[in-house]
Structure 1
Amino acid sequence: MQVIEATVGNPVDVRLRISVAATLFERIRGLLGRPSPKRGEGLLIRKCKTVHTIGMAYPIDVVYLDRDWCVVGVAHSVRPGCVRAPTPPRRSGVVQVLELADREAAWIGLMPGSRLRTTFGESSSANNDTWSRA
């Protein structure tokens, strides 16, 4: 799985390891069957507007991103067994979602209008496997 590095402009630095679900199988699976992300970990699901937590054992935060990597919306503490999509009119701009541990988005300070600046690295590179909040 590819790994992404990004920076979001906030006053405190936070480093996160973000795996990218790019293939159909990776996008369908998401975090299903995996342990809850630890603080500082997440999963980016490309070509996605709606997520579900059916079959999951823990709540997650869902961050909706547009094509320019701007946060369009955040669903906090989505419980297992739910389906979540951004509310209109935001839905039309969403092209990918970032799944984080429960309450992680608030801890990081992600909110509508936050923008991620991204560079892509190889998953084998120790220097390119995180994103940070500036």
Structure 2
Amino acid sequence: MRTHAPPCPPGWRLLAARSPLARARGLIGRAGLPGQVGLWLPVRSVHTVGMRFPIDLVWLSGAGDVLRIDEGIGRGRLRTCLRAGGGVVELEAGRGRALAGAIHRTPGSPPRTT
């Protein structure tokens, strides 16, 4: 499992949830996220219990490839991606595809979605 956040695409800001408490909390309790901001977690499963807004999930391989995008995940759900050695980025719903596209345009990032 990757232990550091992936390279941040231009125009985006990725917050990192590194501690066990930060990972458990995720975006719970927040009213939303501004613009092009996401929360990166070094995990393979995400729950949305207690979420106030739907989210998109961008799952990453250990090499930084976008493996999958889960869109519009509502509260009280659980999503898992066992191949996500690079963790996952949580974003407000509707922003996952934009981040995935930006990741592929970042120098040093992989050229395709697998």
Query: Which TM bucket (shorter chain)?
Result: 0.7 to 0.9
Instruction: State the TM-score, normalized to the length of structure 2.
Output: 0.77
Distance (Å, rounded) in 2 between the aligned partners of 1:22 and 1:117: 24
Structure 2: stretches of 5+ with no match in the other structure: 109-114
Change (3 A) 1:34 1:67: same
What's 1:69 paired with?
64
What's 2:12 paired with?
16
Q: CA deviation at 1:81?
A: 1.0
CA contact (8 A) 1:60 1:101 kept: yes
Q: CA deviation at 1:105?
A: 1.3
Distance (Å, rounded) in 2 between the aligned partners of 1:115 and 1:28: 30
Instruction: State the TM-score, normalized to the length of structure 1.
Output: 0.67
Structure 1: stretches of 5+ with no match in the other structure: 8-13, 119-134
What's 1:101 paired with?
92
**Greater than 3 Å deviation, 4+ residue runs:** 2-5, 113-118
Aligned residues between the structures? 103
Match runs of 1:30-49 below 5 Å: 30-46=26-42, 48-49=43-44
CA contact (8 A) 2:6 2:64 kept: no
Identity of aligned residues (%): 26
Change (3 A) 1:115 1:45: farther
Bigger radius of gyration, 1 or 2? 1
- Pair 1:28 & 2:18 matched: no
Distance (Å, rounded) in 2 between the aligned partners of 1:41 and 1:109: 9
Equivalent of 2:73 in 60, 74, 78: 78
Higher relative contact order (CA 8 A, sep 6+): 1
CA contact (8 A) 2:57 2:90 kept: yes
Distance (Å, rounded) in 1 between the aligned partners of 2:59 and 2:88: 5
